Chains A and B, each alone.
Chain A
């Protein structure tokens, strides 16, 4: 391998990549212009996100009490306690169910909505806006609104069911119904977001691909599977990953609607983490939950990349 004489760039020698950018050589500056580009973002991420994340890992290795002069080191005891905790396994189950169901529902419904509203007619524009409304509204308030609507005694939904002669259903009080209801509201709230991104992807598929396929005699279903899907694969990957990562961390909606109840039926990992950290003041334990969740998300994201047959820089 060639050793370049000008390998006196600021970056340390990590083998494989070539030193110095094309732009850099141009201006006779010895540093990578790339780092200038990434500097502001990187600085903010490092200071305000990455460093705190490592701090939280440090917390998880202690019986951390905020303000204590000396923190008690416990090593992996928090993690061991976590894996022996029934509430943790419950929260894990709830989180996974929530994520799988809501992501699948959003992708299916979002894709359907995007393709149904693809053309730029006035009607479509209006309906798209309507579908996007839930994403715009503040979550705390809409949670309150839905709680009111779903109240079995005084809610609108209860009123409607009473009008058709059925018993009002305790949507958020029944241990079996609470999670599906929360999932429903979550899909309701985020559908517009998914639809918009998929819309962007769908409108980007070159028309000539469709024409060529139609000339070959492809029908509706074949067009979808063999032209649309492959073309929007990167968008699908991006959307699924983002939705999964977000839904595994769901907190605000659950907090506002059920706070993990009834009887922990909707207790997600972050809800549990919040309770342990800020109600029970057990920061070390809460941080351990966060890191287990982090590991889980990394694994699932890697799996998704594999599933979508991601090749580098696609």
Chain B
């Protein structure tokens, strides 16, 4: 009986000792092994795994393992992992492109110097300019876009027919009018989400010539154009044309259930909606007062400053953003390719989802690009602002308060 306790203690000690003994064998002359952490769970995953497989099949000297984890988990582990000199060679630190600044703060990212026109180089000037802009700091490029997405207008053809409307709206005013006409009988004209989503409301503001911050990070929420725009749209919500307080997922569910006639969403939603039996149409976002505009979102793919294989990692990024990989990815996922020189590609042109979303790239704006503490501006100020005005708060008062908060966060001295 008395022997059991020491036996258990011995086991524990042995386990502890063994853990130290299982060091991986030193690098032999086999292929370079790279690890990559990404947050591409759910439906997106397949296309990325396909890319990795293709890369590994065509490169004997470099093998990449992708470890998919929820975005939250990456946010929790990656800073420490990279700070302690361990962690993956490559990673998509966040779905928000503004994250690059935070990791640069702690010098965790490798500056990409293998940039140029060659096949094994990162062709930065051929990649979506908005993304490259977002990832270039002080003249150095720190990440490539793992993907780039735009939002377009999904609409339910059956509901349009039933309401007697010929086609999707093409101007802002038509947009609002159609949304009103399509509402009724348990159906919303427009499905909107205001939190936990790719932001849709900024598009509504941009259509009317409004915006959130200017180039210096100072709030322009209290401009007359903005106030008018927000008042118009929040009135629609209060009139029951669009729902209040939904997350992205809930907004998607509404459209999937055929209870909303229109929605601004990205390429990932197309398959789901068709599977759900919706008679789906995809159109360009209605043209705003300043011309066509939509929201673009890009996920940065960066290399750890502490990686032991910087050259191979950059080669991987070059391949990832190369023509073949991007063609494969676009066809598999419906996302537009991150390259701007694939516009004439026959295969891509034949894919309706890809063409629809790629067409919007030139007019796509990122959300709060280069704004200091963008996540705080988004979650504490913007989401609150939209939440308040859609629930009936006075718009002028709400934007004034929001302006103060934004300026406090971004340090603007306006």
Contacts and interface: CB of A to CB of B under 8 A. Distances in A.
* In-complex A–B contact (CB below 8 Å): yes
A68 B106 contact: yes
B80 A262 contact: no
B290 interface: no
A148 B257 CA distance: 12
B243 interface: yes
Contact of B250 (A87, A151, A275): A151
Nearest to A259: B196
Given A259-B195, A261-B195, A173 B246 contact: yes
Given A65-B106, A279-B75, A153 B254 contact: yes
Contacts of B245: 170, 172-174, 261-262
Given A151-B253, A153-B254, A275-B379, A173 B244 contact: yes
A263 B376 contact: no
Contacts, number: 67
B45 to A, nearest CB: 18
A261 B194 CA distance: 11
Given A170-B245, A275-B379, A154 B384 contact: no
Nearest to A151: B250
Contacts of A148: 253
A175 interface: yes
Given A154-B253, A261-B195, A278-B76, A65 B243 contact: no
Interface residues of B, number: 36
Residue with the greatest number of chain B CB neighbours at <10 A, chosen from A172, A174, A281: A281
Interface string B92-129: 00000000001001111000000000000000000000
A281 B250 contact: no
B82 interface: yes
Contact of A153 (B82, B259, B388): B259
Interface string A146-180: 01100101100000000000000010111100000
Q: Determine chain A's interface SS by DSSP, over half rule.
A: loop
Given A40-B12, A151-B253, A278-B75, A67 B108 contact: yes
A85 B83 CA distance: 30
A280 B376 CA distance: 6
B138 to A, nearest CB: 18
A242 B55 CA distance: 52
B373 interface: yes
Nearest to A281: B102
A307 B102 CA distance: 48
A87 B219 CA distance: 21
A175 B390 CA distance: 12
A68 B83 CA distance: 8
A175 B391 CA distance: 9
Contacts of B209: none
B375 interface: yes
A210 interface: no
Contacts of A264: 384
Given A175-B391, A275-B379, A67 B246 contact: no
A66 interface: yes
Chain A CB within 10 Å, residue with most, of B9, B76, B79: B79
Contacts of A153: 186, 243, 253-254, 257, 259
Contact of A87 (B82, B83, B380): B380
Interface in A164-203: 170, 172-175
B72 interface: yes
Nearest to A283: B79
B373 A280 contact: yes
Interface in B8-29: 9, 12
A67 B83 contact: yes
Given A68-B105, A87-B380, A173-B245, A278 B257 contact: no
B292 interface: no
Interface string A233-264: 00000000000000000000000000101111
B202 interface: no
Given A170-B244, A173-B244, A261-B245, A65 B105 contact: yes
Contacts of B362: none
Nearest to B256: A154
A67 B373 contact: no
A275 B76 CA distance: 11
Interface string B374-387: 01100110011001
B258 to A, nearest CB: 10
From A67, A87, A148, residue with most partner B Cβ within 10 Å: A67
Nearest to A279: B375
Contacts of B75: 278-279
Nearest to A154: B257
Interface string B67-89: 00000100110011011000000
B61 to A, nearest CB: 30
Contact of B379 (A67, A151, A174, A279): A279
A162 B112 CA distance: 58
A259 B247 CA distance: 10
Given A175-B391, A279-B375, A263 B384 contact: yes
B387 A154 contact: no
Contacts of B246: 173
Contacts of A280: 373, 375-376
A153 B387 CA distance: 19
Contacts of B107: 67
Interface string B153-182: 000000000000000000000000000000
Nearest to B108: A67
B252 to A, nearest CB: 11
Nearest to B188: A153
Residue with the highest number of chain B CB atoms closer than 10 Å, among A87, A172, A259, A279: A279
Nearest to B259: A153
A192 B9 CA distance: 36
Interface string A259-288: 101111000000000010011110000000
Nearest to B186: A153
A280 B244 CA distance: 26
B378 to A, nearest CB: 9
A170 B247 CA distance: 13
Given A148-B253, A262-B195, 8 more contacts: A40-B12, A67-B79, A67-B106, A151-B250, A170-B245, A261-B195, A263-B387, A275-B379
Interface of A: 40, 65-68, 87, 147-148, 151, 153-154, 170, 172-175, 259, 261-264, 275, 278-281
Instruction: Across the A-B interface, give the 3 residue pairs with the lowest CB-CB distance, nearest first.
Output: A67-B83, A67-B106, A173-B245
13 contacts: A67-B80, A153-B257, A154-B253, A154-B254, A261-B245, A262-B195, A278-B72, A278-B75, A279-B75, A279-B375, A279-B379, A280-B373, A280-B375
